[in-house]
Structure 1
Amino acid sequence: MIRTFFRHVFESLKSLKRNGWMTVASVSAVTITLTLVGIFLAVIINATKLAQDIEDNVNVSVFIDIGTTQEDIDALQTELEGLDHVETVSFSSRDDELARLQDAMGEAWSLFEGDSNPLYDVFVVSADDPSNTVAISEEAGNLANVYRSDYGGTDSDRIFTISQAVQTWGLGAAALLIFVAIFLISNTIRITILSRQREIQIMRLVGAKNGYIRWPFFLEGAWIGILGAIVPVVIMFFGYHFVYQAVNPTLLRSNYSLVLPGTFLLQINLLLMGIGVIIGSLGSVLSMRRFLKA
């Protein structure tokens, strides 16, 4: 049995060499497909990660009415801390808010120092769970001495909507690419089978089982998938490291981060290799069905 298996392996390798440009065409189709699938998967996974980071970092900003006394501010803090699902409450004065804007936007905001400062004192409220943010914002907005309560509403919701769209359409595009690759490979292997149709018929006449006939073509498809996955794996390894080193330092300033390359790259590259093998093998099996019918 082991001898038969290795015979099938050698036969599949000879078939790859014998078919020349058809093999190159199939491998190229798999390479292009898996490269795009890998990019889509990396974008989808990181979009999901960033959306989760953004959701986890969404806090409620409770702006205090101008002219509110320190006593009323202390009372408001106590009320905020008493709301359901509130985890922490921190105070940021209008001067602190201006300093933060100056750090982010530049010294142009220095014109607004002192009495010209248009900003409000603010309480930053974090929820024990991101899903409770909206409810806390609504309750805080109804308290006395509160000018406005905001959690980034429309902008945050838009980010989550975009993230969901990226996931949905990205997965759809990846599935479509895989289908196209299976179609191309199955047609390529079908041409190979047509050129060897007489050989297959003779094998069937002498009593060869379908499994014995199918194995070399099945392995040929698997080889095409493996060869086609090599370039995407290399591109993902070096490309993702480059993007991570270029983009992640900027994201870290806002407490966001891309997925760490280590385990992520290992998993996604193994997945690409597995998809390549499945694509090639499935294309081969689909092509053989019509020729091995009784």
Structure 2
Amino acid sequence: MMKGLRTFLYELKYAFLGMKRHIMLCFSAISAIGITLLLIGALLIIGFHVDYFSNGVQKDLSIHVILNEDITDESSIDDVKNEISKLKNVENVDFSSKDNELELMIKEKGSAFKAYRGDSNPLSNAFFVFVRNASSINETSKQIKNIDGVASVAFGGDSVTSLVEMLNMIQKIGIGIVALLIVLSLYLIYNTIRTTIDSRRDEILIMRTVGATNGFISNPFIVEGIIIGLLGSVIPYLIVHFGYQKLYTSLNGQLFTPMFALFKPDVINFQVGSSIVLAGVLIGGFASLLAARKYLKMKR
């Protein structure tokens, strides 16, 4: 226990010593990773919301299937429903009676249509078909239209499909940018730790001469990288914490319409904030590990 504590204190001491010797280089790396983590945090917020919006759109997206006028008995309705349910992209099929269809029309177009209640209702029975993949809704609509007993289908047109495809494209672009930023952060910390190791090559040679293991030599540099990553995550975390809170308040918790409701600040602070800190620590530690191992392997 005590031996482990002494080893850790040694690694911590030499990590701070290495940072002190190259304070400007460390400051540059901390600033660079801070900017990178801030961008990653912003992209994570956008990515979470795009995924949330996309799922919301796809969840609420349905195909309105109008049945022929002669499809009135329960057996015929069930036959059409079973045919629709067999389609690969169909998630769920909900029945809507002609009376319910009229009530929906009254709600959407006004009370003038109340005159058609009862026996004068000219509408047909219908289904609301929910799909698994919104990007294939057009193809699914065509398949449903070809089923016997179906009079017409409607799902909102190409605008809805385009919206889903656009949200998915934004999400993919965001993931690509985050990956590039992580690679950039690794490169910056790698170079910082490599410079620190080069400046201590005589000391490392002495430690190797007296029998020090590669792990004992490299651990202080790994700790130094973790500290750099941790320090670089502080300002991005604070900006995300307070900045998103202000953004959420100023937009009243939604983007344009209630359909695009924003995540509550405590959710973003936990998910994105913890991701920023964890990313800083992992990037710093991994980059330092690569630098230390490569140097020690070359100098073996």
| TM-score of Structure 1 vs Structure 2, range by shorter chain | 0.7 to 0.9
- Who is 1:127 aligned against? 129
Unaligned runs of 5+ in 1: 65-71, 101-120
- Who is 1:117 aligned against? none
Which of 254, 273, 277 is 1:249 aligned to? 254
SS at match of 1:87: strand
Amino acid corresponding to residue 154 of structure 1 in structure 2? D
- The RMSD of aligned alpha carbons is 3.5
How far the C-alpha of 1:125 sits from its partner, in A, is 4.8
Matched, 1:35 2:38: yes
How far the C-alpha of 1:195 sits from its partner, in A, is 1.7
How far the C-alpha of 1:145 sits from its partner, in A, is 10
* CA–CA separation in structure 2 for the residues paired with 1:193 and 1:145: 74
SS at match of 1:259: coil
Matched, 1:87 2:94: yes
Question: Percent same amino acid at aligned positions?
Answer: 27
The structure-2 alpha-carbon separation of the partners of 1:98 and 1:30, relative to structure 1 and needing over 3 Å to count, comes to same
Where do residues 198-217 of structure 1 align in structure 2 (5 Å cutoff)? 198-217=202-221
Amino acid corresponding to residue 12 of structure 1 in structure 2? A
- Who is 2:11 aligned against? 8
How many residues get paired?
A: 267
How far the C-alpha of 1:153 sits from its partner, in A, is 3.1
- Who is 2:235 aligned against? 231
- Who is 1:161 aligned against? 165
* CA–CA separation in structure 1 for the residues paired with 2:149 and 2:241: 55
- Who is 2:116 aligned against? none
How far the C-alpha of 1:249 sits from its partner, in A, is 3.4
Contact 1:59 1:124 in 2 (8 A): no
* CA–CA separation in structure 1 for the residues paired with 2:63 and 2:127: 5
1:21-69 residue CA offsets vs partner (Å, 9 max, x unmatched): 11110101111111111111221121111011011112334689xxxxx
User: When the two structures are superposed, what TM-score results if normalisation uses the length of structure 2?
Assistant: 0.74
Amino acid corresponding to residue 249 of structure 1 in structure 2? Q
- Who is 1:184 aligned against? 188
- Who is 2:53 aligned against? 50
SS at match of 1:91: helix
1:135-172 residue CA offsets vs partner (Å, 9 max, x unmatched): 467646988895x6320231122122112212222111
The structure-2 alpha-carbon separation of the partners of 1:247 and 1:143, relative to structure 1 and needing over 3 Å to count, comes to farther
* CA–CA separation in structure 1 for the residues paired with 2:245 and 2:124: 40
User: When the two structures are superposed, what TM-score results if normalisation uses the length of structure 1?
Assistant: 0.76
SS at match of 1:208: coil
Contact 2:64 2:129 in 1 (8 A): no
* CA–CA separation in structure 2 for the residues paired with 1:80 and 1:141: 16
Unaligned runs of 5+ in 2: 86-92, 112-122
Contact 1:248 1:257 in 2 (8 A): yes
Matched, 1:275 2:264: no
* CA–CA separation in structure 2 for the residues paired with 1:231 and 1:220: 18
Contact 1:140 1:149 in 2 (8 A): yes
SS at match of 2:94: strand
* CA–CA separation in structure 2 for the residues paired with 1:61 and 1:73: 18
How far the C-alpha of 1:15 sits from its partner, in A, is 2.2
Contact 2:63 2:128 in 1 (8 A): yes
- Who is 1:103 aligned against? none
Contact 1:137 1:150 in 2 (8 A): no
- Structure 1 window deviating more from structure 2 (245-254 vs 128-137): it is 128-137
SS at match of 1:253: strand
Contact 2:45 2:268 in 1 (8 A): no
The structure-2 alpha-carbon separation of the partners of 1:122 and 1:219, relative to structure 1 and needing over 3 Å to count, comes to farther
* CA–CA separation in structure 2 for the residues paired with 1:290 and 1:131: 46
The structure-2 alpha-carbon separation of the partners of 1:152 and 1:130, relative to structure 1 and needing over 3 Å to count, comes to farther
Amino acid corresponding to residue 225 of structure 1 in structure 2? G
* CA–CA separation in structure 2 for the residues paired with 1:234 and 1:124: 52
